[in-house]
Amino acid sequence: MTQTEIDGGTACDWTVSGMDCGSCATKVRSAVARLPGVSDVEIGIMTERLRLTLDETQTARDKVEKTVRSLGYGIAPRTDAAKKEFVIPGDGKDPHGDGDHTGHDHTSNSETSAPAATGHGSPGHVHDDPADRGKSWYRTGKGQLVIFTALLLAAAWSVELIAPQIGSWAFVAACLIGVAPVARRAIAALRVGQPFTIESLMTIAAVGALFIGAAEEAALVVFLFAVGEVLEGVAAGKARDGIRALANLVPKTALLETDGVTREVPAASLAVGQIVLVRPGDRIPADGEIVDGTSGIDESPVTGESVPVTRGPGEGVFAGSINTEAVLRVTVTKAAEDNTISRIIRLVEEAEEARAPTERFIDRFSRWYMPAIVAIAALVIVVPPLAFGQAWDTWIYRGLALLLIGCPCALVISVPASIASAMSTGARRGLLMKGGAVIEAAAQVSHIAFDKTGTLTHGRPRVTDVVTFGATTQAELLAVAAGVESGSSHPLAKAILSKAEEGGITPLVAGDAKALPGSGVVASVGSALAWVTSPRYATDNGGLDAENLKKATAFEEEGKTAVAVYRENQPLGLIAMRDEPRADAADAVRQLSAMGITPVILTGDNPRTAAAIAGSLGMQFQANMMPEDKLAAIRTMSEQGGVMMIGDGINDAPALKQASVGVAMGSGTDVALETADAAILRDRVTDIPATIRLSRAAMANIRQNVTLALGLKAVFLVTTIFGLTGLWIAIMADTGATVLVTLNALRLLRFEPEREA
């Protein structure tokens, strides 16, 4: 555990394992905050972090750890290594779009991060054990409990068929075994002042059902509850796996230059003022300023800029960016803990902490529902006999019936059934949502923020215009350009080669290709040299006159990237390219507007390109945005209602976490897919309004289910107190409510989210 002495106590930091949902965090926070000398408690679910200020004269650190373990969670000191691990994976590459043309493609260096710090679980708990990390769900403690309980249920049903007289005891055994760890957690919560948690609700419901002979139903409810916890654990585990690898964007080592001699050193040891050598294809190991060299820098991991930008002496570069062309000497300007990637890591953590977790409906409702039911049942049992001399047998019978009616079977099943049906419907259409809290939040969004490249656009530039000069034909122009670009994997080179292939044009044989740092490529094509360069470079070298430069400028004003193709003192023509909007982007924007939702573009691209795309779609936009800028924009929009963020790159991670709902496009990087709350696997922008329609339908279905479940319970609660209905009617009421809400939830399986209302 890291600690820092501050006024009024010590700032302490732990890793807590096993927190899968908002109620878990609330339980830990409430229990720890009750301890004397504890203040400023902060919980991060995805980062598994517990931070607080502790006055050790009142409470020892091991007392905090003991309290957390008693609730069924693991806890261990948080080391510096663990902190660096809560990062986001990915190769750092966004699909490329428009921007300045450069000549070389690039590769990335990736390292493997160390395992995270883990905690120690208490015996018998059913939350995630640190040893379960990386295991399949069925090999974890929770998963094995579900499998074992399912086998017990199957065995009980078999016994009941063969020997009905002892079948009920098999269900009793299945229920008791399944509810035992839940009951232990309920007792632990009770000891720290939380008597009515989801665990206590489940324990009272199961035991109450056993008392009135509904052992089969009790066992089923316990089993379904355990399944829900497994699903939560799997989702949280995958998200955390994604949050542990952003360090791969910064190389583990750097080439430090000292007195003209280079040596390999750990990147984390670099100090401000030192000079590092960065070779083509390498990732830049620290934030710094170029001392010598000019090269194209792929900044997509940091800014989202779709095409590498040219940087030269005196210009700044970001850690994690990729040097694509020439050797650079860079002066370190920020230490490792303050570099760009470290800031993104902190932004992800802060976004999670600033965003209040959505508590499960049943847990919120149980704060008054179960205490009320238990109190009413107790009063029904004792008041009539003691106050009015009524028969004990009669009122114990009615009290047990009330307890059964109070059993939250229908409520426990109704919400998960609706959520499961909605998630199943979405999954069949490539709409993935990570749980009920995501569906609830998606149903309430009023603003949607889109990243541009790879989200509203394809992330792949395409040739839009081919302009020839003199007697040159388009075929001749493309044959030369494709020859120069042959073998390159640069996005613009691929666009030219694709255009030539579409026209059935064979690239001319080329050799001795050479990158012109920040300007383009030159190669020997046929018997003479040929160039594919930026218009500015071509103008300075006799490849483009002033009149044709105006044409290139006009293309750029339309948000396109233009390159000049020429031979020695012989201009051949211009090729313009643009990362075009997806075919369904305009329709998606129209649908969202019709639904009362305001869409806006947040992009790291230049304003010219952003304006061209936004104008064609009829949207507002904000350009040249760093990750912190997107985060600030999301926070501002959140003041006006729920916000959904759609992104596909690492630079979108903080905004995805800060938004009410973060949605990743399926073609995006692993970071976006793992950090986001939902994913659109088919890369259709119209799937965004479809996701919102599905979420709204699911929430309407949940409201119907809750009304059915509580309405029936209210009716039979009254009739039972007056003796109009007994145990068998109570069983029918509870089972009937369960059947009704389940059938209603199954209607969502036929819902068509693509259909406009």
- The residues that are catalytic are 451
Q: Are strands 642-647 and 620-622 parallel, antiparallel or unpaired?
A: unpaired
With tokens 């009330």, the residue in question is 402
Q: Is the dihedral of CA 186, 190, 191, 192 positive or negative?
A: positive
Distance CA 14, CA 17 (A): 10
Query: What strand order describes the sheet that includes 520-525?
Result: 462-468, 570-578, 561-567, 528-533, 520-525, 510-516
Place of tokens 């007994």: 726
**Concatenated DSSP letters for 533-595?**
E-HHHHHHTTS--HHHHHHHHHHHHTT-EEEEEEETTEEEEEEEEE-PBPTTHHHHHHHHHHT
Return the DSSP state at 682.
T
Q: Is 206 helix (H, G, I), strand (E, B) or coil?
A: helix
- For β-strands 598-602 and 620-622, DSSP reports them as parallel
CA atoms within 13 A on the CB side of 144: 12
Q: Which helix (H) or strand (E) holds 180?
A: helix 164-191
- Separation between Cα atoms, residue 13 and residue 560, nearest integer Å: 50
- Identify whether the C-beta of residue 679 lies closer than 8 Å to the C-beta of residue 416: no
Helix (H) and strand (E) counts for the chain? 23, 27
DSSP string, 325-348: SS-EEEEE-S-GGGSHHHHHHHHH
| Cβ burial, residue 144 (10 Å; 0-12/13-18/19+) | middle
